[in-house]
Structure 1
Amino acid sequence: MAKLIYPINVSLDGYMEDDDGNLAWSISDEEIFTFWADFLCSIGTYLYGRRMYEAMVYWETEKPQIPSNFTSGDQPDTLSEFARIWQKAEKIVYSRTLQDVSSARTRIDDEFNPDAIRKLKESSSSDITIGGPHLAKQAISMGLVDELHILIHPIILGGGKRALPDNLNMPLELLSERRFASGVVHLHYRLML
């Protein structure tokens, strides 16, 4: 049975976007991209809300441009590998407003159905990720999320979009941790449902 995993970059104070909806504050160097590429190798399906899909569809391009905040210089192999991994996975976008998708292996569902997610977990041979705090909040609240992969970045934003739902009381088991040269810390938790 596949696991449903919520992977997220967050500020030290728990935000995934700043007040203006920007993600440019997060560190995107070769070490971080390599970590995410290695992590995504075991993922067969991505579940996205509309806004997260629109941010990630950038990786559908065959030769992505180096982001301006990529701090380790020109690393096209790392970026190309990340794009290749993203392109080969199935994607489900949950949206009532999005009419068309601009990536292969992608479909739109207008409603997040917990029974459909349970069936997907039972039938999948590869793990599944969920992206976007609103969608993740629904899945966590419904007891569908099995693990969290949180990359805490060394910045305090003071406001923005919270990465985890408020008013959630749930014990976690720490499975692993890692510190990156940039000061980013990865925490891998299992949700104790």
Structure 2
Amino acid sequence: MAQLIYTANTSLDGYVNDADGNFDFTVPSDEVHGFINDLERGHGTYLYGRRLYETMKVWEAMQQRTDLSPVARDYADFWCRAQKVVYSRTLKAAETARTRIEPSFDPEAVRRLKAGASTDLSLGGAELAGQAFAAGLVDQVHLFLAPVIIGGGTRALPDAVRTRLELLDERTFGSGVVHLHYRVSGQA
């Protein structure tokens, strides 16, 4: 069975964006981006909330650019090859290839998707992740902690969900970003 893996770039105080929705503090260095590429490359399907999909869809247009760094080119290539499932009550049609829109998050459908997938699934978007955590669907967590405190915004991890995590790996990058890799080990 495939695993559902949540990855988030976050401030040290746990926010994926600030109170105004800005997330420029999470833009990765080439070193961090290359590491993320190695983590994400084998994922065959990305599950997104609408807001993160709106951010990520630029990778389809970027694939056509000739001026991308090798790290960005690599990411654009495998992002475009992957299947995408976007959970949105407002989007009616996908704006990228290999993308389908689902009007709501259905935990049973995701369980079936995991059971039938031959590659791991990537989960993105804090609100969607909260729903997946609450349903007991998340198997692993990758957090990339930026060396900044922003004091508010959208939390990377859900409120009102208790989950035990087992630390599998950690790494510090030259930019000061710290990567923490956890396995979800059950209800706390």
TM interval, shorter chain, is over 0.9
Question: How do 1:1-193 and structure 2 match up within 5 A?
Answer: 1-61=1-61, 62-64=63-65, 76-193=69-186
Q: Is the 8 A contact 1:50 1:95 kept in 2?
A: yes
Where 1:192 maps in the other structure, the secondary structure is strand
Matched residue of 1:43: which SS? coil
Question: AA paired with 2:14?
Answer: G
Matched residue SS, 2:151: coil
TM-score (norm 1): 0.92
Kept in 2, the 8 Å contact 1:44–1:90? The answer is yes
Instruction: Quote how far apart the aligned CAs of 1:63 are.
Output: 3.5
> Counterparts of 1:117 and 1:109 in 2: how far apart (Å)?
11
Query: Which amino acid in the other structure matches residue 37 of structure 1?
Result: N
Structure 2 CA distance for aligned equivalents of residues 183 and 139 of structure 1: 29
Which amino acid is 1:63 matched to? Q
In the TM superposition, residue 130 of structure 1 has moved relative to its aligned partner by 1.1
Report the Cα distance in structure 2 between the residues aligned to 1:55 and 1:47, rounded to whole angstroms. 13
What amino acid is the match of 2:64?
A: K
Equivalent-residue separation in structure 1 for 2:143 and 2:55 (angstroms): 18
Report if aligned partners of 1:46, 1:129 keep a CA contact under 8 Å in 2.
yes
What SS class does the counterpart of residue 86 from structure 1 fall into?
helix
Aligned CA RMSD, in angstroms, stands at: 1.3
Secondary structure, counterpart of 2:163 in structure 1? coil
Unaligned runs of 5+ in 2: none
Return 99-108 or 152-161, whichever deviates more.
Answer: 99-108
Q: Deviations over 1:27-47 (max 9, x none)?
A: 421101101111111101000
Paired letter, 1:168: V
Aligned length: 185
SS at match of 2:85: strand
User: Secondary structure of 2:35's partner?
Assistant: helix
The amino acid across from 2:12 in the alignment is: L
CA drift of 1:56 comes to: 0.3
% identity of equivalent residues: 49
Q: Secondary structure at the match of 1:16?
A: strand
Secondary structure, counterpart of 1:166 in structure 2: coil
2-structure distance, mates of 1:192, 1:84: 33
Q: 8 Å contact 1:64–1:83 — kept in the other structure? A: no
Matched with 1:72 is none
Query: 1:82 Cα deviation (Å)?
Result: 0.7
Scaled by the length of structure 2, the TM-score of the pair is 0.94
Any gaps of 5 or more consecutive residues in structure 1?
67-74
Matching residue's letter, 1:30: D
